[in-house]
Amino acid sequence: MQNVTYDRVSAHILFLLPSGTLVAPTFGGGMNGGWRITGLLSKAAQGRPATKNRPGGGWNYGQVNPFIHHKYTYQGQNITVNNKMDVVVFRIMHGWMKIEEITKERIIEAAELAHSILGAETIIFLTIPFTNNVLDANMYAEICKVNRMIWDVAKNWHKDHTTTILIMDYAQYTNHVIWTNGIQLGYNISNPLTVKDPQVFDKEGIFMLERLNQKTWPPSIPMVCNKMPTSESGGEYCERNILFKDGMHFCTETMASRIGAALACLLGCVYNKRESSTSATTMQEEDETRTESERKVLKNRECERQCNDQFMSVLPIKESWINATLASFSR
């Protein structure tokens, strides 16, 4: 797909993130919204308070309606969202949700509700990154296990659903950045650019549990430090980098561009009208015994892999991906 240029994006996209925004029209038309919900969508959470409840955050239709009934003007035309968000993007809020609450059943229910409540035909899940909500090695191992489960749900989704699920590998992105920073700090860990087996990050990740000596939500040293803390600081302070602010939030001016590019790329996997290139292996698999639906799933999965390998990593951006519009579709 990287050798083809497409038109501008025109979509209604809702991000289920720890924020609350609504912007329309966006560049090229469409609407972007951010719905602050601290847990995954679930029927059990309907009508509950938005925060500080288990499992996850509550929601109600008073929060939904401003998005699905929004009206705006674009190029002289009056547009109504009309009960349909094209895409819903989930950031799974570990910390607000206990790790044991993030189950296969909850992921499936959230995706199904994104379709039934918001009209979404495409649902994107971010994998769960390491943050200072990860308290020990056992919890880190559970996070890694949950991320593998999320990938498994996406891989098998088409067997029982007509909607599309894609994964933005946010955990891989933050791992690549933390490992690269950790190497320059002197940690004896693998170079993410040469890692072949992604489970290397699962095995080596315990080094991220080395934290600054702070009482409240101490951040990981390889996440936030540009230099190792000195003895004079008692391990409490270090010269900070411009990657992560506090062990939880990344610095947008440094890190956000790849997030935006990865999202545009994933949308292109589903909505670009022209054919995208696939690997030779994928092309060989697409024989006459496969249905059109099965061929589409294979192409989406291969495209998803390319997007994550290129943007959710510290790989240099290929020249062929630069100055190309990665996602588009017309209303």
What SS3 class is residue 201? helix
| Whole-number Å distance between alpha carbons of 96 and 252 | 22
Q: Are 240 and 225 in contact (CB under 8 A)?
A: yes
pLDDT digit string, tens, across residues 117-130: 999 999 999 999 99
Q: Is residue 115 over pLDDT 60?
A: yes
pTM of the model: 0.87
Name the one residue in this structure whose structure tokens are 């940690």. 187
pLDDT computed for residue 201 by the predictor? 96
Full strand arrangement of the beta sheet holding 87-91: 21-23, 30-36, 11-17, 87-91, 122-126, 164-168
% pLDDT > 70, the chain: 85
pLDDT over 70 (residue 308) = yes
Q: For residues 221 and 51, which has the higher predicted lDDT (pLDDT)?
A: 221
Angle between helices 170-185 and 252-271 (to 10 degrees): 150
CA separation (Å) from 231 to 181, 185, 212, 228?
Answer: 20, 15, 12, 10
Name the β-bridge partners of 80: 71
Task: Return the higher-pLDDT residue of 222 and 7.
Answer: 222
- Asked whether the predicted pLDDT for residue 53 surpasses 70, the reply is no
